[in-house]
Amino acid sequence: MPGRNLPGAADPWGGCWPGPGNTGIPAGVQLHTCPTTITMPGTYDACQFNSAVVVKATGVVITRSLIKGPVTSKQNAGLNSLVIRDSTIACGCPSVGSGTTVGIEDDGFTMQRVDLSGSGHGAAPRNHVIIQDSWIHGLGGNTSDHKDGVYVGDGTDAVINHNTVECNDGPAAGCSSAIGLMSDFAVINHYVITGNLLNTIGSFCFYGGDNPQKPFAAQYITFTSNVFGEAIYSKCGFYGPVTDFDLRQPGMVWGDNRWADTGALVAAA
């Protein structure tokens, strides 16, 4: 299908990839300033948060809002501790050569139809997270610091579904992947990654969490119906679409992952 590489273009399921027309703040919303430390549950609608947002309460919903900084969910509670929907995270926190800031991270958050840009890593989920119908792009800072559209160092119970994820930080090429299960801190398990469009200037579009140089491995990972784009490299990443996905580990599922332009199947590697 022509144009599958592009955010907002037709996806293989009769819809459109997340992009500028279907993520972020809806047109015509009038914003008002809201405090950036949230300590009470409730819905925060049409807010402009002018710096980093720290959520210290469960049951927080942010809708139709602009966040001008990174977001941290401090609750190790269950699913839906924090929901961000139809909003824009314009982080303004790119890598500056001394570390990689994350656009949104930690536990118990859901982001849906979010336009996320301007950070080092895009999202860094850990436990009980949903990332859906969102556009992660414009990352970096053109430094050699490690970056990913979605970075996972450890965690359990996450869904990453139908997103456009691109890591293209410029000629310094600090990006590693669009989605990177890196297993740096503990075993990663029970992640479901499905229906995403991936592109990167990095080595591989997807790291599957079983690098022998890492101290831990990924288990019970479902990676299905994802589309490997060719917008930057013909192999999605510089070296290829995928690495470190070990089907010998318990519960690993790979199926129906395809190239954007031809629709040909991509094998696990």
pLDDT single digits (tens) 109-149: 999 999 999 999 999 999 999 999 999 999 988 778 889 99
User: Domain check: are 178 and 267 in the same one?
Assistant: yes
Q: Which domain holds residue 49?
A: 31-119
Q: 7 lies in a domain?
A: no
pLDDT score of 131: 98
Q: Is residue 153 part of a domain?
A: yes
Share of the chain above pLDDT 90, in %: 81
Q: Classify residue 54: in a domain, yes or no.
A: yes
Asked, for residue 88, whether it belongs to a domain, the answer is yes
Residue 77 predicted with pLDDT over 70: no
Q: Is 132 a member of any domain? A: no
**59 burial level (CB within 10 Å; 0-12, 13-18, 19+):** middle
Task: Note whether 165 and 267 are same-domain residues.
Answer: yes
Q: Name 60's bridge partners.
A: 42, 82
**Residue 218's pLDDT is what?**
96
Tell me whether residue 124 is in a domain: no
Question: Based on the domain organization, do 154 and 257 belong to the same domain?
Answer: yes
- Are 171 and 220 contained in the same domain? yes
| 91 and 184, same domain (yes or no) | no
- pLDDT of 2 > 60? The answer is no
Q: What is the pLDDT of residues 218-247, one digit of tens each?
A: 999 999 999 999 999 999 999 999 999 999
- The verdict on 184 and 255 lying in the same domain is yes
Question: Can you say whether the dihedral through the CA atoms of 181, 144, 142, 97 is positive or negative?
Answer: positive
In a domain, 137, yes or no: no
Asked if 191 and 107 sit in the same domain, the reply is no
Of 102, 119, 136, the residue at which a domain comes to its end is 119
What is the rounded average pLDDT for all residues in the chain?
Answer: 93
Q: How many CB atoms neighbour CB 79 within 10 A?
A: 16
Count of structural domains within the chain: 2
Claim to verify: residue 56 and residue 161 sit in the same structural domain: no
10 Å CB burial of residue 46 (0-12, 13-18, 19+) is middle
pLDDT surpassing 70 at residue 3: no
228 is a domain residue: yes
